[in-house]
Amino acid sequence: MTVARVPIPTNVFEHPSFIMSRLHNIIESGFLNILDLLRTPPTDDLSNFLGYCDAWATMLIGHHDAEENSLFPILNTKLDFSAEQEQHKKVFSSIEKFTTYVRAARADNTKFDASLLTEVLAGAKKVLLTHLHDEIEHLEASRLRAVFSETDIKKMTESMRKYSLAHQDPFVALPFIVGHTPPEYRSWPRLPWMVANVILPQIIARKHSGWWKYAPYRFRV
């Protein structure tokens, strides 16, 4: 079945909020999915499930690092994104705990405690989801257009793209992104046909193939 894909905006000033909405929806989708799965955790497949949980935390940390190092420094030259940075600090205190517990359980499955992981995520839910939604609104095109040029915005989005490519593991990031992107939004990120239909599903996703059974969407449409 052919899916009508939502196009990437042609207006440069709309790119930051569009891309951020996709990334934040991916992170939120993984977050809510893990919370749901923890209700009846797959104890017979803990290795893969915990790998999936670790991939979500890695994606979130990598995304926030990219914002801190390539996005906020530019935005803060003409706007005030200090509130978002404060939200990062609050989110990270919980995500660091979550990551520590997940990795301890990956090393020793007897340390897996679904109620503990649920408690940590539930405690982070309000500030995380508030942050994910607020930041998209604060990147609204009219706000950016008022103080930045098209060249500024292009440099900013390219800076974040390069930072992410340089610091994220493609064997984790790419399958996670695609596995949490609904078919109608597969217009972004732009992937060549060969990557989307051959390299990703048959090579990249195979490295941690057991993890991606927990992702809500298939790799191909």
207: amino acid identity, one letter: K
Residue 86: inside a domain: yes
For the record, the structure tokens of 204 come out as 């990249």
Q: Is residue 212 part of a domain?
A: no
CA distance 171 to 43: 24
**Domain membership flag for residue 205:** no
- Residue 53: CB atoms within 10 A of its CB come to 28
Domain count across the chain:
1
For residue range 132-161, list pLDDT tens digits in order.
Answer: 999 999 999 999 999 999 999 999 999 999
Is 199 inside any structural domain? no
Please tell me the predicted confidence (pLDDT) of residue 221: 41
The amino acid present at 125, given as its one-letter code, is K
Dump pLDDT digits (tens) for 161-210: 999 999 999 999 999 999 999 999 999 999 999 998 899 999 999 999 99
Other beta carbons less than 10 A from residue 110's beta carbon? 7
Answer whether residue 185 is part of any domain.
Answer: no
In a domain, 179, yes or no: no
Q: Is residue 132 part of a domain?
A: yes
Q: What confidence score (pLDDT) does residue 1 get?
A: 56
Q: Report the C-alpha gap between 83 and 184 in whole angstroms.
A: 32
Reply yes or no: is the peptide bond before residue 189 cis, omega within 30 of 0. yes
Short-list 8, 32, 13, CA closest to 190: 8
Residue span of the structural domain in which 17 resides: 12-165
CB atoms within 10 A of CB 2: 6
pLDDT at 27 over 70: yes
The per-residue pLDDT for range 68-115, each reduced to its tens digit, is: 999 999 999 999 988 888 888 888 889 999 999 999 999 999 999 999
**Which pairs from 192-198 meet CB under 8 Å and 24+ separation?**
196/220
pLDDT, residue 84, reads: 86
Counting every residue written for the chain, the total comes to: 221
- Residue 120 in this model has a pLDDT that exceeds 70: yes
Residue 37 lies in a domain: yes
Using alpha carbons, select from 185, 209, 211 the residue that is nearest to residue 24. 185
